[in-house]
Amino acid sequence: MPHTHCPPTDFIRLPLPGPECYAAPLQRPAHVGEDWLEPAQRAYTSDEHAVWDDLFIRQMKVLPGRAAMAFLEGLERLDLSGGVPEFGPLSEKLQAMTGWSVVPVPMLIPDHVFFWHLANRRFPAGNFIRSRQCFDYIEEPDVFHDVFGHVPLLTDPTYADYMQEYGRAGWKAMQHNRLKALGALYWYTLEFGLIMEGDDLRAYGAGILSGPSEAVFAIEAQSPNRIMLNVDRVMRTDYVIDDLQPTYFVIESFRDLYHQTVERDFDRLYRSLGAGFTYANTAVIDVDNVVSRGSLEYHLRGGRGSGAAPV
Ligand SMILES: [Fe+2]
């Protein structure tokens, strides 16, 4: 049975989880509102704008031919080169295309607040950019990851609808205490998803598109498994947060992703899921529709920090 402590919501006002609904213990900074939004987007220094530009240039050396076509088109339509974008004009453009806007948040925000913004077609993006010392790897998503990685695809109507539905689904997952499973779905689609374009694999996940080496690894390396997305299976699968993925899941199209998830009876699915994950992130199982089975060499050699080549 759903937890009665997270009542149904219409998403108009911020829904508040009851005391028995698990919520990460994040402290809201004093200067942000109940909605966890910063009062204004911060003013970036010229050095910080230069960090954006250098990151942008680095990504554009690897993404053509590896990033989803819709991503590259969105990037061009939104014109995201030339320093950290101003969210105001960016949101106006997005509004006109798919009704989305981008809003600044100080840090990772609580799940229920994040879901609420998505359900209202507002994408929360970090109000800071990484320093040059953390050029390659950051723990908390910054404005480059959020805006460069996620926002171009919000120009695609189907992806845009999926993102909103994900926000609505979040509240349901909280009711069932199954945020971990829904988090795996986010991870294997919006962060690290691959898409078939004709006979070619392309990346659409923001974690791949905004990072220095994962686009090449995800598309070309022998190590990782590539498996067609199956929502039931993915929501039972563990994932790594601080290294390249041992397994990527592939969609046929954003329409396919939308139908596989939005038309599913999640109440029923959540009732059948255990609290933990069933499958290791390296596993290939009987029901998998395997695109290519990986050697797992990179991970078997120790992965990040071991000196293993991402092959
Ligand atoms: Fe992200």
The CA 138 to ligand 1 mean position distance, Å, reads 11
What does the pLDDT read at residue 5? 56
The CA 226 to ligand 1 mean position distance, Å, reads 20
The CA 286 to ligand 1 mean position distance, Å, reads 30
What does the pLDDT read at residue 11? 85
Domain ranges of the chain: 46-300
Hey, CA dihedral for 257, 262, 263, 266, is it positive or negative? Answer: positive
C-alpha dist (Å) from residue 175 to 80, 120, 179, 182, 217 = 38, 19, 9, 12, 37
Render pLDDT for 189-222 as a digit per residue (tens, 0 to 9): 999 999 999 999 999 999 999 998 999 999 999 9
The CA 9 to ligand 1 mean position distance, Å, reads 25
What does the pLDDT read at residue 109? 92
Q: What is the pLDDT along the chain (311 residues), one digit of tens a residue?
A: 444 456 778 888 888 877 767 777 788 999 999 999 999 999 999 999 999 999 999 999 999 999 999 999 999 999 999 999 999 999 999 999 999 999 999 988 999 999 999 999 999 999 999 999 988 888 889 999 999 999 999 999 999 999 999 999 888 888 888 888 999 999 999 999 999 999 999 999 999 999 989 999 999 999 999 999 999 999 999 998 889 999 999 999 999 999 998 888 888 888 888 888 999 999 999 999 999 999 999 999 999 889 899 99
Rounded to two decimals, what is the model's pTM? 0.93
The tally of CA atoms less than 13 A away on the side-chain side of residue 16 is: 4
The CA 207 to ligand 1 mean position distance, Å, reads 6
Backbone angles phi and psi of 247, in degrees to 5: -140, 135
CA–CA gap between residue 255 and residue 252 (Å, rounded): 8
3-state helix, strand, coil in the chain (%, to 5): 40, 10, 45
The CA 17 to ligand 1 mean position distance, Å, reads 23
Pick the CATH number of 46-300 from 3.40.50.1970, 1.10.1740.10, 3.40.50.300, 1.10.800.10: 1.10.800.10
Pairing of strands 122-126, 200-203: unpaired
The CA 141 to ligand 1 mean position distance, Å, reads 6
